[in-house]
Amino acid sequence: MKGGNCVNKLMPRSSYRIVTVICGVLLLSGCVMAEKYDAEKARSLNFQRLLAQEEKRTGELDSEVKRSKNELTEYEARNRELTAQLQTTQEQLARMQEEAEAMKESALLERKAKGDMKRSLTPTHKSLPVEPGPTDSSLASIGSPNVHVVKPGETLYRISRRYGVAVDKVKKWNKLPDDIIEVGQRLIVGQE
C-alpha cells in the first residue's frame, strides 16, 4: 500500500481524476480518429472502384469509336462503289434510249418502204423522186448548205447526231412531215 499512498501523496485526488478524464478523452478521440480513418479508407476504396469502372467504360467507348470509324470507312467505300454503278447504269440507259430511238426510226422506215412497195406495184400510181425542200431564209443567207446523202441503215436521228443538229431543225430545213427518210435522199444538215 505504500506504493498506492505514494501516488496519492504525489498527486491529489482531483488531479488523478483530471488525468483519468484526459486519458479517457484521448482514448475516445483515438477511437473517433480510427472511425474517421476507416470512413476515409472506405471512401477511398469506393472512389478507386468507381474510377476503375469509369476507365473500363472509357475503354469500351474507345473500342466503339474505332468500330464506328471502321464502319464509316466501309460505308464510304460502298457508297463510292454504288455511285460508280449508278453512273454506269445511267450511261447504259442513255445508250439503250439511243438504240430505242434508232429502232423506232427503223420501224418507220420499214413501214414506209412497205407502203412504197405497195404503191409501186399499183399501176395507177407513179412514184416521184424525192427532192429536198427549199431551205429557210436563215440557211440561205448564211452560205451554201451542207448536204448529206442518205445511205442504207441510216436514220434521221443518227444523221442529226452526226452533224450536231437537232432532228427538228433537219426536218424543218428539208420540210419533212415525219422522221421517215429514204436511201439516196439528199438532206440539208447545216451550213459550211
Q: Which of 160, 151, 157 has the alpha carbon at shortest distance from 186?
A: 151
pLDDT classification of 126: cutoffs 50, 70, 90: very low
Tell me the mean pLDDT in the region 158-164.
Answer: 91
Residue 81's pLDDT is what?
95
101, 103, 107, 109: CA torsion to nearest 10: 80
Helices marked H in 122-174? 137-142, 156-163, 167-173
Residue 169 has pLDDT above 70, yes or no: yes
Distant-in-sequence, close-in-space partners of 182: CB < 8 Å, separation ≥ 6: 109, 112, 116, 130, 150
pLDDT classification of 5: cutoffs 50, 70, 90: low
- The DSSP secondary-structure symbol of 133 reads P
Mean pLDDT taken over the chain: 81
User: Which amino acid would we find at residue 181?
Assistant: I
Residue 11 has pLDDT above 80, yes or no: no
- The DSSP secondary-structure symbol of 153 reads T
Asked whether the beta carbons of 168 and 121 are under 8 A apart, the reply is: no
Distance (Å, whole) CA 151 – CA 186: 10
pLDDT classification of 90: cutoffs 50, 70, 90: very high
Three-state SS at 149: strand
Tell me the mean pLDDT in the region 5-19.
Answer: 64
